[in-house]
Amino acid sequence: MTARAAALFACVAVAACGSDASCPHDLPATCPSPAPSYSGEVKALIDTYCADCHRPGGQAADRPLDTYAATFTRRSAVLNQTYACAMPPPEFPQPTEAERVQLLGWLVCGAPNN
3 φ/ψ sector (left φ>0, alpha ψ -120 to 50, else beta): alpha
Label residue 23 by pLDDT band (50, 70, 90): very high
User: Is there a domain that residue 114 lies in?
Assistant: no
Q: Structural domain of residue 43, as residue ranges?
A: 3-108
User: Is there a domain that residue 49 lies in?
Assistant: yes
User: Is there a domain that residue 16 lies in?
Assistant: yes
Q: 110 or 17: whose pLDDT is higher?
A: 110
DSSP category for residue 36: P
User: Is there a domain that residue 113 lies in?
Assistant: no
Domains: count for the chain? 1
User: Is there a domain that residue 50 lies in?
Assistant: yes
3-state helix, strand, coil in the chain (%, to 5): 45, 0, 55
Label residue 6 by pLDDT band (50, 70, 90): low
For 69-95, what is each residue's pLDDT tens digit? 999 999 999 999 999 999 999 999 999
- Residue 15, pLDDT score: 42
- Residue 3, pLDDT score: 55
User: Is there a domain that residue 71 lies in?
Assistant: yes
